[in-house]
Amino acid sequence: MALKITLAQDKDKGPGYGRLTISGLSSVNDLTLRFESNQINQEHLQLNGQWGTSPASHDCILLERNADYVVIGLEPSTIDAFLKNARATYRVIISYDGKEKVSPFRIPNNLLGSGAIQKEKPVVEVPETNAPAPPPPIDLPLEDTIQNREPEDAIESTDQDQPDTEKKKGSARSILLILLFLSAIGFGAGWYMCLIPGLPPGPTCKTTEDIEKKTADEDTEESTAAETSEESEETSTETVQNFYEEALALQKTGALIEAKAKFQKAATEEKHVEAMKRIAEMYDPTFWSKETSPIAEPNWETANWWWEMAGNTGDVDAQRHSGYNMAKYSSFKVEKDKGLSILKEMADQGDAKALELQRELNGE
């Protein structure tokens, strides 16, 4: 029976904790898990919550066991690692009682990491200070509280002794100096920026020859950059095609592991559609054979992952195989209905091969 993996939030423990439900698995004694990030760069989840190049087995926290499924608890380090790229598709390798199963799963949109926990602010206690009490008021004699003040008329103003005429002359001289200083700054800036005709050119002024030379240099740089870009694109296309052609040659000679690595490099790094389809065939039960695939046994779910990747580029053949696999091999009604719906839509649009596969599944 095929396994189905579902990831959900552990509502009892809150953000950062997850429940991994494995349907189709009940009576097991020894169970470990390994996680991979959707086969693109073959990264594996390490025990410290980081992604690395070597596989790592995770011991399971069994939360629930049922006749049809088991529920595994996931810690914050694992959930946070998944949420670093929540849109990716992950694979889990399940090892139990000497057997091993592989199944993909997706991250739900409402899954929360440990960072969503709202920490309470600590309450800072203000220590009580034993401040000394203020001294009691002192009753002063009435005579000491009354100050003998001189009449306001006795205060003489020194400003009135200064002539108003001298003050006005000083202010006028200051204003004139400021205006002359500002005019000099404006004149110098205009000359520097070449805004005053008739004066010798400033350091920023450019002659017609300078402008024409600069324009010619810019045109030359743009032309060189365009040629370099075209050469780079041609080289990149040739490199990807070389990966694919080398992989085909290796597959024919029986070097299947090396061929798969070349196919995968072309498929993931440069989105080579035919390379995606060749990898899907290595896993697909319809195409799988020991002579063409390094995989120990076929796995339709992994094959479907690659068929869907190729189908998302618009490849009709990949879309047809994806629908057929879900309709034929999935043990879940939702996936079966989805696969049948894909084939029906393609058949209604005149796809003869989709119609043939649809009739095969219906037993016609």
For the segment 47-94, what is each residue's pLDDT rounded down to a tens digit? 888 888 888 888 778 778 777 888 888 988 888 888 887 767 788 888
Q: Which pLDDT band holds residue 126 (cuts at 50, 70, 90)?
A: very low
Average pLDDT over residues 227-234: 57
4-111 belongs to CATH 2.60.40.10: yes
CATH 2.60.40.10 domain position(s) in the chain: 4-111
Q: Please indicate whether residue 61 or residue 128 has the higher confidence score (pLDDT).
A: 61
Per DSSP, what are the bridge partners of residue 62? 72
- What Å distances lie between residue 256 and 41, 90, 253, 293, 330, CA to CA? 18, 24, 8, 6, 28
Between CA 352 and CA 317 the distance in angstroms is 12
pLDDT at 159: 47
Q: Quick check: 112 and 15 in contact, CB under 8 A? A: yes
Between CA 298 and CA 301 the distance in angstroms is 9
Q: How far apart are the first and last CA of the chain?
A: 26
pLDDT at 124: 47
CATH 1.25.40.10 domain position(s) in the chain: 239-361
Between CA 269 and CA 235 the distance in angstroms is 14
One-letter amino acid of 82: F
| Range in 98-102, 189-193, 219-223 the model is least confident about | 219-223
Enter the tokens of residue 352.
């003869």
pLDDT at 49: 84
pLDDT at 329: 93
- What Å distances lie between residue 8 and 3, 22, 177, 188, CA to CA? 16, 12, 78, 72
Helix (H) or strand (E) holding 104, with range, is strand 99-106
Between CA 329 and CA 351 the distance in angstroms is 22
| Range in 111-120, 133-142, 170-179, 196-205 the model is least confident about | 133-142
CATH no., domain 239-361 = 1.25.40.10
pLDDT at 42: 67
| Range in 39-43, 91-95, 181-185 the model is least confident about | 39-43
Q: Quick check: 292 and 272 in contact, CB under 8 A? A: no
Enter the tokens of residue 213.
């030379």
Report the SS3 class of residue 177: helix
Average pLDDT over residues 272-292: 93
Average pLDDT over residues 21-40: 76
